[in-house]
Structure 1
Amino acid sequence: MNKVGAIVARHWLPLVVLNSVVAAIAVFVATTSVREWTSSAQLILPASSSNLEANLGTLGSLKNSDLNFSPQLNPLKVQQSILTSEALLDATWLSDPQNKPGDKPRDYAKFFKVAPQEQTTIMRLTVTGASPEVAKQRAASLIKAYQNRLNELRRVNNEERSQFSRKQREDAQIRLADAQKALAEFKETTGLVSSDEQIKGVVQTLNAITTVQAQAQAQAQASSDRAKFLSSRLGMNSKRAIQSIDLGENQDYLTVRRRLTEIEVSLAKLQSTYTEAMPRFQRLREERDALQQQLQGYIAQASGNTQGDANLTASTAGRATLIQQLVLAEGEAVAQQEQANQLTQKIQQLNSVLRSLPQNQARLFELQRQAEVAEGLYKGLSAQAQQSSIDAFSAYPNVQVLDPPTVDAKPSSPKTSLIAINALLAALLGSAALVLLLEARNPLLSPKDLHAIEFPFVVSIPRLKSANLGLKLNTEHPAEFQRLASTVSLQPLKNRSLLVTSAMMGEGKTTVTLGLAIALADLGFRVLIVDGDFQRAGLSSQFGQGHTSSIDNKFIKIQPNLDLMPTLPQSGRFMDIATRGKFERSLADIQSTNDYDYILVDSAPVSQSTETAMMATIVSNVLLVIRPGESLRNPVNDSLGELAQHSAKLIGLVINAVNTKSVPYTHLSNTHLSSETLVKT
């Protein structure tokens, strides 16, 4: 903190100027900024109230939630974009109180801000103006223009959607009619209605007909075998047997026989398809039985009305019976064979139908699916048209004013507190930057800067209560001056003379010179102080001798064993003295004529005068004084370099005005000054 305070103290003037400028700018901004008032209002988006739900068949169902915005789309952001659109601002500008025809500001949008509230359907609108009336009227104009714009967008959107939906519905209706027509024609052509049930019925019918066909084939075979047996017993076929009993020319007999054969064939057909309980089947059986009796009567008449018996005889009666059985057996064989053939054709047809069913079934499914999709699409478009007509605010809802525009009595800007905070931050940051810049150009001396320099001894002097030590000679001096005097007395000084200097002003060089002189005098040495500052003559002025030239060898007695050789402050005076050798001869005369143990020369700062470096060629023993928090790196380094160029001998380093109560005395002989030593001091 001490270092920071020292740095700030060094640069107080630039800091004061900088902070004054910042304060002036803040005051200027606060007094010249345009005052603005803010009007605020709240808008709310009501929730949709439509409850449409439509069944789309195979496509599922359609609810009103399917027609709302996508989850990735925020309705409030859409409304915010509409509120801040250029078209809406143009409409608002037409009714603006500050409207100038054809002179709309480019930054007119900055007066309007829309902020959607999170987790709600509320938007907050803030509008600024040069007066409360202007701000309120702008907000009202924007809300009115916004509602008109929503109505316009809603109307246009509804018309476009209706026109598009009408054309889509017409196309969908045509596709549905085509699909239903193709399905009906296919069903009519193939007779396929329910494929699973039809396949099951065809298989059952096929099994039944196959069984009946096998029975008919077996019966036909049995009747044929019986006829062959009877023919072999009679030794003739049926035709010859009939002719033998004079029936070959009987037309009635032949007619009855043909009719009997037809009935047998019809009965066989009905038996393969229907049950015997069918009325038609019963009538045909009764007609068959009657024809068989009539046929038997013809045969009996032809055989002399004699009933035959079961045994084969050569009599007429027995032969007639066999002929009758032969004729009946042949008729039954023909009828049963015809029945078997018809059943075989039926079986072939059913097998063909059964083989074509899978293909027809696939085609039926495809046509049904097309019809269902077309129907679902038509229903969906119809539902969307209904939704568009019921909920006209789906895309552009009817935004309602939750809170009308209100204006705070106090202006919203400029905010003096914000200006003050910004000014304070600018002052702090600017001050820090300025100090860093100045310190970077000429930083304070640090222990590392002197670490590589050899000093025979280093002595620290605490901060004195009074800097004007020369005016208080009776004051008890710190013990550090006694230590410094003792250390100096142990050094082998050429001509017993010592040049006390510093790199820059304010480091306490004159105070250290006077303190060291008094301490040497207290040790019993006779000491002469030479005021070698030919520009300021600080010591001479302190003791009231500002008009006396040092060349005149007029000494001032300060106290016992301590004298002062004053000088006259005059620019360029030392250059004349040095070039003529007067200063060197004056010191030689003093040393030869006066018995002084030590001659201390208080010179000007090395970095601010060329006289000190020239004195160092005469008084080669140099005691350098530095002051923490005051000494700068560049002047000290330059001063050390200049002294080294003039072959000066640094016999010691005095660290003046150290802010510690007790600093240990350190006496180093031909050693390096360590950074730890400087830190302690």
Structure 2
Amino acid sequence: MVLPGTGANSNVSLDEVGQVVSSTSAPFGKGYNPRVNYKEMLMSRNLLESAATSLSMDVKSFGRPKVRLTEQTSILNVEISASSAKLAEQKAWALFNALQEQLKFLRADEVSRRDESIKAVLDQYRERLNIARNNITDFQQRSLLVSKDQLTQHIGTLANLKEQIVITKAEIGRSEYYVTQLSVDLGVSPSMAGQAFALQSDGEFRAYLSELTESSSQLSEYRSRWDEGHPKVKAELARFEQSKQALRTRSEGLVGPHAAHAFQTMDLESNPNRAQLFADLISAFAAKKGIEAKRSELENSAQLLSEKIKIYAREAAELDRLEREFDLAEAVFTSAAARLEASKADVFASYPVIQLMTPPSLAIHSTSPKKSIAIAAALAAMIFLTMGMLMVNKRREIVSAILQKPE
């Protein structure tokens, strides 16, 4: 029998998990020779009993084999004798099969014991993995942050808000410059322009304004003709004051006090271009106020989002720590499970495979008794028998020669 002298290696890579390396070293390590183990197994009583039982024999009748280890090789030479060549061959096969069964049992027992120990450790790793997973679930349930993608999205949203704030500030500056310059050119503020439109669009105010204008013109004409005491001057002056009071009362009701005097001379209806400029001023001022409101809302949103990001950042750090613990527990568990599966294929680590280099041979000639030994034994027996017969025939002369005293 021969033992192969090389080991086996296997490498398994798991995507996003890790790598499992399984290696079986050569059986002939430093200070270790499995041939000696196999020799002791071949000489052991339980293996001999198993081989003898397969041939319906007892251990004494089966006998003990002779095992020789050839130096500088991995060969075991096994010899066993019997009363016939056929029986010797059967005993050799029975011994080989019993050795294989014994090795199979020892390998299975080793794998079973190894599996039990690894499974016990694997249960601990599984428990740690479940605890790490539950920690992440509990954290996600009690926190605002569910995944780290939320923080990334909020940071992107905040950057977008800040960019919009910068744009709106630029638009506000442009609108403010336009409104200011137009107000200077027209000599009115946006609020006054709005009041002018409100008054000019009111029919009653326009009627009072027309009445006041007509009365003022008539009063000037009468004064050019008569003095203040003339009845027509007095009547027209009373009409003028009444129209002025009515105009003031109507304007105060529409846009507030002290507004009628500012718009008595503003006839927007008779000047369409000026009216359009007033409309542009009011529109630009309204747009400016809208952009300012938009900027205010953007700044409030950015402030709230910034505060939320601070909370998310703390929670993201905690979530990242929990996920690292989970990844570590998962990697350890997966690696242990992979080693468990890989160890099942490594059944020849402690008991390397053994091959039958030469099958048990059927002896052509018997090894005992040998003819040369039989002839030599017969010759020796004849010599000793002849010497014995001569000694019997000459015993008296020999005895006399021994007992005769010297003179």
Comparing both chains, which one has the higher relative contact order based on Cα–Cα distances under 8 Å and sequence gaps of 6 or more? 2
Rg larger in structure: 1
Structure with more helix by fraction: 2
**TM-score, L = length of structure 1:** 0.33
